[in-house]
A and B are shown apart, each in its own frame.
Chain A
Amino acid sequence: MSELATGVREICDRSGGDRARMMDIVQEVQARFGCVSGEALNLIAAATGVHRVEVEGVVSFYTFLSGRPKGRMVIRVCDDIVDEMSGMRPVAEAFSQELGIPFGGTTPDGQFSLEYTACIGLSDQAPAALINDVPVTYLSSDKAREIVAALRRHGDPRKLVHRLGDGNNAHPLVRSMVHNSIRSKGPIVFAPFEDGSALRKAIAMSPVEVIRDIKTSRLRGRGGAGFPTGMKWEFVRAAEGEPKYVFCNADEGEPGTFKDRVILTEYSGLLFEGMTIAGYAMGAQLGILYLRGEYAYLRLLLEHFLDERRRRGLLGRNILGRAGFDFDIRIQMGAGAYVCGEETSLISSCEGRRGDPKNRPPFPAQRGYLGKPTAVNNVETFCCVARILDQSPGWFAQIGSRQSAGTKLFSVSGDVASPGVYEYPFGVRLRQVLEEVGAESPIAVQIGGPSGQMVGPADFDRTICYDDLATGGSMIVFGPERDPVYIAKRFLDFFAHESCGYCTPCRVGTELMRKKLAAILDGRGEADDLPYLEDLARTVKFTSRCGLGQTAPNPVLSTLKNFRDAFERRCPARQEGRRAAFDLAAATAEAESIVLEQAAR
């Protein structure tokens, strides 16, 4: 047998040939053999008993997986809007020049590949890049050149880290240059916590009482949609089907969001405790933490803390000595797909499939992972759960605003003096946040990332909570020199790239919106483009299958609403009904050159 055949066989055997573990299998094959080649696809398909095309579907779906060999070191430069504002372009050019390859290319010696990637959760330390699993931050063109020279010398991305970040970023299992940048601490997430304290209180109650406490606390999901957590748990508990599952969505991919990175680095105890309490309350025995591929550098640390909890009887069999309370947590690595942050896509991915969304209903609470009742919650939500049990539901409920209890973590980036993570009680005024983060005369703020909304100064006195400005936590601030139309276009670039392609409104609609915005920016806009864009955006919003398509038009709709001037300036009425976007000379250029070449012969 060839080395590949033996290797693939070994990897597949380790997961029992279980197709649901396809993500692990293909990632391991790629790690060992550099890519998942056509031959490897055949071998994996045979070992797991699925069609080759299914394996190929998975490999082609995720950005971090590849069917063709890539360089031994893959440099992924984050091309998020915040990175661009922080000087990503010269950095990208420097990488490209120094390596002598364009983006998307691999050096002839097979050492380096260079790519762009969507937000990697380091907007507070932009421009940033990932080199294999290693994040490099605060890049400049000089640094980029030094990095390439150093990698050519020693070939080890980990050796690029000279000065370690704060807190657990300096932990021997992490050793990363990333900084936490926690800027303000609140009483719920960023507060001291003693492992086991909340769990002890939970198991002193019945599971139903735990759920009642969560309901009393009025906790709502921190991912952005704000579904009442207690109600979701009640549905899962009551749903037919065993076993039940607890999922933690640590796939924060919303550009400009990085709060989960900090929780995972510093407060994983709170998170794991919350998941364990969820397991107790819903009668689940397995929890899965879906960790985005970009945070792979935190994996060993998280595994270590999970082991630690197992050793201390906080995970595993008969937790805290309570007979029959078994719960464990497994980490599932993602591989660079934004759509997997959508809960049904996340479940698809954990089942070893492409990260395609599923139809709802049935909701995951009824039929989720492998068809069983599944509660999918945000990282921050689980932290709140642990704190609620540790303190009390009443204590939690009195923090925040009437409809939105507790605090919220904001990932603040963009044109501000102090980017980082801030914990504020719900109901805080946007203006107060902007002052405290050091935003000088901002013209616009993107609340909740691209899928949220873009607001202008007229909205700065609004409050941040589920009933006013709802947010999953991303807050990108734009200063006076930024252009709302350009920002909207960049966000649509992102959505068009991340659309899974399953449903037409999203696949085609994001591309049409992107093109129209590009034409407007190019000076080819016209008056009726605006109603066209609005109409198209509404169609995509109402007819798309999952949250990605339903929120992808938000940058268009909210900038059109709040920054109409910026569009209208660029979209005058045109002469004689001609489309400004159509350029006859450009359209005939190719034919002209064919004729000229022929004449020259």
Chain B
Amino acid sequence: MSKPRVATASLAGCFGCHMSILDIDDRILQLIELVEFDKSPIDDYKGFTQRCAIGLIEGGCCNAENVHVLQDFRKNCDILIALGECAICGGIPAMRNTIPLRECLAEAYLDGPTVHNPSRRIPDDPEIPRLLNRVYPCHEVVKMDYYLQGCPPPADAIWAALTALLTNRPIQLPYELLKYD
């Protein structure tokens, strides 16, 4: 039987959750015994090669591209896991949600004290994905199956979740892996 495939993506996140995936250290050798990585920044596959068992999503959706990637993951993965605060709630990027997009862009590209922008244009190249009116947590865009909290979730929590899913056992997350105070 072929190994189950795992895909990962970083949307509006900081790659911290991906760092945390790598932080499972040498267990990554055990992991690749268990799974095959598909579309992921880790192996730099740009698209899905086949259907995946698990998709790990870091970050929420701040632009149209994030939405397309997330919908693509939903279409190609049996199970989607929201990995970390930004995927679950929007996180730091969602701090802009209380400010109208127009004001955010003006501050960033026109009026901010350190802005140097002689053209007085907000970047609008069609190649640049359009920003959404606010940052959406993943579950508002597609159905998510599981949520792993933390900023980032500890490597041990990611390890516990993945191995539990792959070996079809109930997940055991001790309190130490869930508390953040």
Contact = CB atoms under 8 A, between A and B. Distances in A.
Contact of B130 (A581, A586, A591): A591
B74 interface: yes
Given A584-B67, A591-B101, A598-B122, A577 B143 contact: yes
Contact of B132 (A528, A579, A588): A588
A524 to B, nearest CB: 11
Interface string A405-428: 000000000000000000000000
Interface string A221-258: 00000000000000000000000000000000000000
Contacts of B71: 576, 578
A576 B73 CA distance: 10
A576 B74 contact: yes
Contacts of B142: 576-579
A595 interface: yes
Given A578-B71, A578-B74, A598 B121 contact: yes
Secondary structure of the A contact surface, majority rule = helix
Contact of B102 (A579, A582, A587, A590): A590
Interface in B47-91: 64, 67, 71, 74-75, 80
B105 A584 contact: no
Interface in B113-141: 121-122, 124, 130-134, 136, 139-141
A442 B121 CA distance: 61
Nearest to A596: B124
A590 B101 contact: yes
A153 B16 CA distance: 69
A591 B133 CA distance: 7
Interface residues of B, number: 24
B124 A598 contact: yes
Contact of B133 (A576, A579, A589, A599): A589
A590 B121 contact: no
Contact of A578 (B100, B136, B141): B141
A191 interface: no
A582 B133 contact: no
Interface string B140-178: 111100000000000000000000000000000000000
Contact of B140 (A577, A579, A586, A588): A579
A357 B88 CA distance: 32
Contacts of A598: 121-122, 124
B64 A584 contact: yes
A587 B133 contact: yes
15 contacts: A576-B74, A577-B74, A578-B71, A578-B74, A579-B140, A579-B142, A582-B136, A588-B131, A590-B101, A590-B133, A591-B101, A594-B102, A594-B122, A594-B124, A595-B122
Interface of B: 64, 67, 71, 74-75, 80, 100-102, 105, 121-122, 124, 130-134, 136, 139-143
Given A528-B143, A587-B133, 19 more contacts: A576-B71, A577-B74, A578-B143, A579-B140, A579-B141, A579-B143, A581-B140, A582-B136, A584-B64, A587-B134, A588-B64, A590-B100, A590-B102, A591-B101, A592-B130, A594-B101, A594-B124, A595-B130, A599-B124
